[in-house]
Amino acid sequence: MRVPLVVGNWKMHGTVAEARILAHAVRDGLKRPRGVEVAMCPPFTALAAVGEAIAGSPIALGAQNCHWEDKGAYTGEVSPAMLTELGCRLVLLGHSERRHVFRETDEEINRKVAAALRHGLRPILCVGETAEQRRQGLTFTVVEGQLRAGWAGLASAEIDRCSIAYEPVWAIGTGVNATAAQAAEVHGYLRGLVSELGSKDTAHSLRILYGGSVKADNAGSFTEEPDVDGVLVGGASLDAAGFVTIAKKCAAKGGAS
């Protein structure tokens, strides 16, 4: 049984003071989440404060990106070891904003995935097609290419520690979410690939999240799909009450809330 995972991606939102307030409110709203795992990914500058706010709670701390080197002359970058020192357990990699706004390549993302694993961070590899690619019938081709490239060279035991987030680019921050059926179709395809790249057991246990305009009123429809194992939430994770509701709706799938 895959326990659903609900991850908040705060993007570039939140001063330390604002992050503290939001983190406390989420922690208080999810004292004993059952049947769901919850994580929050604030900006780098707020990681320490959020880590403190959720210390001792079941909520996990995550980062939105990392570099592939342990240290060095990489102005402006943050290494995986710097994240684990602050208590991060997971890291988003290959988010579509990193790919499209900052021109991150599959090769760079692959190096980041390997580095995160080396440091004991669980990477959530984000994949997803643009509207144009979907129109051209390239959805499966695109997500397959991103998954194969992002995981290139990983051993099966390493793939075991990964998660995937399917985030169609056209659904991110637009208010136009994929339908649950559209998500389920891609998730099923990705799970088949996990079986090939890792193992059948890994495909059975690995979590594939949906992301893109997830809100309190649509979150439940995604996690009702057997192949959707949680959600990656952007804008709606900045509202504590809404994020808590999303986590509780997803928990229902895990059998208890």
Give the nearer residue to ligand PGA in terms of CB position, either 151 or 222. 222
Give the nearer residue to ligand PGA in terms of CB position, either 123 or 235. 235
Q: Annotated catalytic, 158?
A: no
Q: Find the binder of ligand PGA among 116, 209, 233, 246 (CB under 6 A).
A: 233
Smallest separation, CB 82 to ligand PGA (Å)? 22
Per-residue mark of binding to ligand PGA, 67-106 (x: CB under 6 A):
----------------------------------------
Q: Which helix (H) or strand (E) holds 37?
A: strand 37-41
Q: Find the binder of ligand PGA among 6, 23, 117, 214 (CB under 6 A).
A: 214
Q: Annotated catalytic, 67?
A: no
* Alpha helices (H) in 87-136, listed in sequence order: 96-100, 106-118, 131-135
Smallest separation, CB 197 to ligand PGA (Å)? 23
Smallest separation, CB 242 to ligand PGA (Å)? 11
Q: Find the binder of ligand PGA among 42, 150, 212, 254 (CB under 6 A).
A: 212
The SS3 of residue 250 is: helix
Asked if 235 is part of the footprint of ligand PGA (rule: CB under 6 A), the reply reads yes
Q: Find the binder of ligand PGA among 37, 129, 167, 239 (CB under 6 A).
A: 167
First to last CA, the chain: 15
The Cα 125–Cα 87 span in angstroms is: 20
Give the nearer residue to ligand PGA in terms of CB position, either 95 or 253. 95
Query: Of 29-37, 80-88, 185-193, 205-213, which part binds ligand PGA (CB under 6 A)?
Result: 205-213
The Cα 219–Cα 250 span in angstroms is: 7
**CA diameter of the chain:** 48
Query: Of 28-36, 112-120, 178-186, 230-238, which part binds ligand PGA (CB under 6 A)?
Result: 230-238
Do 126 and 167 contact (CB within 8 A), yes or no? Answer: yes
The SS3 of residue 123 is: strand
- How many CB atoms are closer than 10 A to CB 120? 12
Do 250 and 206 contact (CB within 8 A), yes or no? Answer: no
The Cα 255–Cα 106 span in angstroms is: 37
Q: Find the binder of ligand PGA among 120, 145, 173, 226 (CB under 6 A).
A: 173
The residues pairing with 233 across neighbouring beta strands, listed in sequence order, are 8
Q: Which are the catalytic amino acids?
A: 95, 167
